[in-house]
Amino acid sequence: MIHRKDIFGLHWPLFVAVVLIQEAIFANAFSSPVASGNRKPSSTQLHVDKNKDRKAPSNNKAAIIFLHGLGDSPDGWSKLGEWLPYYAPNLANLDITYVFPPAHNVAITVNGGEMMNGWFDVFDWPIGIDAKDDAKGLAMSVRRVEEIVNELKEEEGIDPSRVILGGFSQGGAVAVTAAYNRRKKGAIPFAGCVVMSGWLPLKEYLDVSEEIAKATPLFWAHGQLDDKILYEQQVFGVDKLDSLGVDVTAHSYPVGHESTSNWEEIQDMAEFVETVLCRTEDGDDQKYDYDSIVLSPEDAEKNALLYYLCSLPIDESAGVGAENNAYSNTL
């Protein structure tokens, strides 16, 4: 009887078993530990929850957009609307819309090209500060976030300055990019940004305006034992954004790649959200002409493509003319 072996010297049945186990582990690596069920929402579906216990007048509105992790669905974080007011009771006095958009199905390179719910492709595992970025995928996800923000303004009357962007793991990477990096000049700063076990992508092309840095505080929570998104990512991202003038609140915990099972982390997040959304109107918040500077669909698309263009490698041997031609061909 011949036992087939692959190039690693494993017996073939054992090799297949190992591969299947690795794929299963990777599929759940970035997801919330308490994600419920196996229901997969459609690519256009949005999970929108209203604060059922709100006591505030209808004009006291705010929104929290929270992006799930790779391989997860909105179900994994849909209880935030209950958890946050529990730990920060003042949030129950606001008219908060919670939005949990689902990621599209994308091919994940590091997982053999398998299609998974994801915001962009992943090339390295684990994800340290030298990990390669999928700039185009990030750009398209940022565009989706901007479209949701525009819809909240148009349909719910919620100004972007009352919107908190947040996300877990891969979703956190999208949130921090959308909140800070290369936002359109004159764009309305968001109320805040929440990164849970995420990372700062496109760091070589990071450009945060003084206005955005001043107006959009950041909460970053991370597990010190995280073996998926390495703890060094928080250290680097926090230091980088702080150096650019962002008001950063950073917490770390003696846990791995988890958040929804770490109630201390959820409580810290709730306190940050409460501080941001329950600020008195007597502050020195800047006023904006919202109708004149909300991104149009055309502007949003150009803004998203900017991330992709900035990530293109420069062929120094070809000269400046060739570089400009490559950019124009991409457009």
| Span between the terminal Cα atoms of the chain, in Å | 59
Length of the chain: 331
Give the torsion sign (CA, 208, 232, 71, 98).
negative
- Which segments of 43-181 does DSSP mark as H helices, in order? 80-87, 135-151, 170-180
The beta strands (E) that lie in the chain are given as 47-50, 61-67, 95-100, 104-108, 114-118, 163-168, 192-196, 218-223, 248-253
For 84, other C-beta atoms within 10 Å of its C-beta total 25
Give the residue numbers annotated as catalytic, written as ranges. 169, 226, 257
For 113, other C-beta atoms within 10 Å of its C-beta total 9
Phi, psi of 244, rounded to the nearest 5 degrees: -95, 5
- Element holding 34 (H helix, E strand): none
Classify each residue of 142-170 as buried b or exposed e, where b means 16 or more C-beta atoms within 10 Å of its C-beta.
Answer: bbbbbbbbbebbeeeebbbbbbbbbbbbb
Rg, the chain, Cα only: 21
The amino acid sitting at 187 is A
- Report helix, strand or coil for 282: coil
CA dihedral in degrees (277, 60, 90, 285; nearest 10)?
A: 30
